[in-house]
Amino acid sequence: MPVHVVWEITLACNLACGHCGSRAGARRPDELTTAECFDIIRQLREAGTREITLIGGEAYLRKDWLEIAAEISRLGMLCGLQTGARGLTKARIEAAYDAGVRAIGVSIDGPRDIHDRLRGVAGSHDQAMRAIADIAETGIRPGVNTQINALSAPHLWDIYRAIRDAGARSWQTQLTVAMGNAVDNAEMLLQPHLIVDVVEDLYAIFEDGLLHDFRVLPGNSIGYFGRHEAQWRSITEAAEPWQGCTAGETTLGLEADGTIKGCPSLTRESYSGGNSRTVSIAEAIGNLADRTVRRDGNPGGGFCATCYYYDFCQAGCTWVTHSLTGRRGDNPFCVYRAGKLRDAGLRERIVKTAEAPDTPFAIGKFDIVLETLDGKPGPATVADTAPRSVGATHLVVCEQCGQFIANTEPVCVHCHAEQRAAARSRLERVQDVHNLLAEIDSHSHGIHALVDEISAR
């Protein structure tokens, strides 16, 4: 069921981002008509979709974007907008609200100079920051998205403070991925071994944000299974681990010409389920089934092929891994993997070996190079020292170290604490609570009896 759909309603854009995976700028020559869009909205509602996020390019450059938003809202689905915010005036924001848009995310990629450099337009940072305040004044709870790369990574605290003070209440962070313009400008890509420090910074910001009614949300490309996973991945109080890429399962992506994909960022060549002009949404979902991570049979590559978590994680974000090597399953940007390598005196680096074609969502080719921490050649391969658990059905949190482990583990693979003893300890505490409640109940009955006796005198 495509619970959440991200829909590129036009490829037209008024920015010139050096990291844009879709190479947005000019609109597609064969974009869907208003009537075709309405039919898709109806089909998505019938398929069980609950939320549709409109993107571009820049979604509001399409003349009928408010009609599309209103139809989504009319059929009972949440309509959101993701925007670079150049030209997103207060009047446009108010019109979006009137059309039923109830979530707007603004892209902020650094302090003014870094943001304007990445976005390719002077003044775009100031316009985006102003839009955050205007969105909040309109009555919509504003969010921010940030691409983390070699330019923005050193400024995460500065970005956080600026957007929080501007009125943003949530911040989704994601990696700049090796696709489209980012392949052309590969020097801006974050090197994988730096992800450990990035996640430490983000988690410190996450904790600070909780004190200010502000939520840091790690995007699908940020993770996985580091020491903070149990604290910040879930949007509820329950500890929920990364469950693997949901492209084609609970998420769906649409391009402006009707191409239907498991995720809006994936290449159509490998991940298209068809075009809405020739297949229904239901048929496209069926066509995508064998390309979801739980059904494609991919055994993983590199360290991921031996990773303790692979059966659950499936190498993280498909977009990240497929864009690097042309095949999903080998993710050097995983914080668990990078941390394990660092502990072994190793690190990984990506090196571009082929350019990307000059088309939307095009990928090049990168090698993943294993080396020592000081940059000398490393071994050809390295494996996880924690072997996969056999027969595990889910992950639980170790009470001692707080990291996720398989539910079948008698001893934590990370801190070596005995898990069955911990389980007994929890049961004993539960029994203590029951005994205490029984004692309180007994005393309560005694008090009531005494009151009745006194009243009868």
* Interval 271-289: pLDDT, tens: 999 999 999 999 999 999 9
Closest CA to 321 of 339, 296, 344, 341: 296
CB 217 within 8 A of CB 173: yes
Q: Which domain holds residue 29?
A: 4-291
Q: Are residues 281 and 332 in the same domain?
A: no
Q: Per residue in 9-67, pLDDT tens?
A: 999 999 999 999 999 999 999 999 999 999 999 999 999 999 999 999 999 999 999 99
Residue 380 inside a domain? The answer is no
Q: Are residues 328 and 434 in the same domain?
A: no
Report pLDDT for 105: 98
Among 270, 291, 312, the domain-final residue is 291
- Average confidence (pLDDT) over 412-438: 63
Which pTM was predicted?
A: 0.89
- Average confidence (pLDDT) over 168-172: 96
Q: Are residues 94 and 128 in the same domain?
A: yes
Q: Are residues 356 and 265 in the same domain?
A: no
Q: Per residue in 212-263, pLDDT tens?
A: 999 999 999 999 999 899 889 887 778 889 999 999 999 999 999 999 999 9
Q: Structural domain tally of the chain?
A: 3
Task: Give the rounded distance of the alpha carbon of 11 from its chain centre.
Answer: 22
Report angle CA 191, 196, 202 to the nearest 5 degrees.
105
Cis, peptide link before residue 271, omega less than 30° from 0: no
CB 124 within 8 A of CB 86: yes
- What CA dihedral angle connects 363, 367, 372 and 377, to 10 degrees? -160
Tell me which of 445 and 299 has the higher pLDDT. 299
**Edge-to-edge order in the sheet of strand 4-8:** 215-218, 170-175, 143-148, 101-107, 78-83, 51-55, 4-8, 251-254, 259-261, 272-275
Q: Are residues 184 and 53 in the same domain?
A: yes
Q: At what angle do helices 34-47 and 281-288 cross, to 10 degrees?
A: 60
> Is a pLDDT exceeding 80 seen at residue 444?
no
Among 291, 319, 343, the domain-final residue is 291
Q: Are residues 286 and 308 in the same domain?
A: no
Give the Cα separation of 93 and 105 in Å (integer): 12
Helix (H, G, I), strand (E, B) or coil at 165: helix
Tokens of 195: 């992800």
> Is a pLDDT exceeding 90 seen at residue 432?
no
> Is a pLDDT exceeding 80 seen at residue 135?
yes
Q: Are residues 74 and 174 in the same domain?
A: yes
